[in-house]
């Protein structure tokens, strides 16, 4: 069923809009767009230039290597994105993807999935004038402590991860709920045919058909793997009595 107005609209402001085909033409986001649940508008600051050479970069005050994104075309692109908002809707939230941003995690992605319009600013060159950021940007976010050549890949990661959490986008909803991190734990191991691969058997419990035992084994593995690999995540999670028991059994086996 295609709804006339999407649940969530992304406006991606980028000098390389063609990069976004990677999310708009395939997978979960591609399907959500086809179903009219999500929309992704591509806005290129170059379309807002007024000079003959369609200049989108400018030299940094204070000198130094590299260029910055030119203020005027970028500001016009942001204002266009904000104006392209159906009346009565909440104004779009302007998000700037940068290594200086707040680290993104599941909580942030989940909050963003409640918005109606997200305007994603993909930086190029060495970045953007601080005064423009102060004027227009609501949220500066980072995927992690590493540098990309542009903000587009980070923006696409936001589009994909947020879209997965938009209600009914994933169809059988529980798979978004069962995404690891959704409940603060890492995912359990996965196995498929053949039953013996490279001399290694699939854990017997998964062949038992006993779904209660299988679910509890999977939960125990999620708890154990989180304890081993991401104790920081475990520290933040309130465990039920059953979870405490499963984890301590895992720890006992691990330390035996």
Ligand X SMILES: NC(=O)c1ccc(NCc2ccccc2N2CCOCC2)nc1
How many of the other CB atoms lie within 10 Å of CB of 122? 26
123 labelled as ligand-binding? yes
Q: Which of 58, 129, 179, 243 is catalytic?
A: 179
User: Given the complex with ligand X, which of 30 and 101 has the nearer CB atom?
Assistant: 101
Nearest Cα neighbor of 224 from 203, 213, 239 is 239
CA–CA gap between residue 52 and residue 59 (Å, rounded): 18
In whole angstroms, how close is the CB of 131 to ligand X at the nearest point?
15
57 labelled as ligand-binding? no
Nearest Cα neighbor of 149 from 197, 97, 112 is 97
User: Given the complex with ligand X, which of 6 and 123 has the nearer CB atom?
Assistant: 123
In whole angstroms, how close is the CB of 163 to ligand X at the nearest point?
18
CA–CA gap between residue 51 and residue 68 (Å, rounded): 17
In whole angstroms, how close is the CB of 105 to ligand X at the nearest point?
13
Q: Which of 57, 60, 75, 99 is catalytic?
A: 99
Chain contacts with ligand X (rule: CB under 6 A) = 97-99, 123, 126-127, 142-144, 146-151, 154
Binding-site entries for S-adenosyl-L-methionine:
123, 143-148
Catalytic residue set: 99, 126, 164, 179
């Amino acid at each position: 069923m295609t709804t006339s107005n999407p649940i969530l609209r992304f406006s991606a402001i980028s000098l390389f809009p063609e990069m976004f085909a990677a999310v708009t033409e395939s997978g979960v986001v591609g399907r959500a767009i086809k179903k009219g649940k999500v929309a992704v508008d591509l806005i290129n600051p170059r379309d807002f230039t007024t000079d003959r050479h369609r200049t989108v970069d400018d030299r940094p005050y204070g000198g130094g290597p590299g260029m910055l994104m030119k203020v005027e075309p970028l500001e016009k692109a942001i204002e266009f994105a904000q104006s392209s908002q159906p009346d009565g809707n909440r104004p779009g939230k302007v998000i700037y993807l940068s290594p200086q941003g707040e680290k993104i995690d599941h909580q942030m992605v989940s909050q963003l999935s409640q918005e109606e319009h997200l305007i994603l600013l993909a930086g190029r060159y060495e970045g953007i004038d601080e005064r423009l950021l102060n004027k227009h940007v609501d949220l500066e976010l980072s995927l992690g402590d590493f540098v990309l050549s542009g903000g587009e890949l980070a923006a696409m990661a936001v589009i994909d991860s947020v879209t997965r959490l938009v209600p009914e986008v994933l169809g059988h909803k529980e798979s978004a709920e069962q995404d690891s991190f959704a409940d603060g734990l890492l995912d359990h191991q996965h196995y498929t045919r053949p039953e013996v691969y490279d001399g290694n058997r699939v854990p017997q419990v998964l062949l038992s058909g006993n779904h209660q035992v299988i679910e509890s084994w999977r939960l125990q593995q999620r708890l154990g793997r989180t304890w081993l690999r991401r104790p920081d995540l475990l520290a933040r999670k309130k465990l039920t009595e059953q979870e405490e028991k499963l984890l301590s059994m895992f720890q006992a086996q691990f330390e035996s």
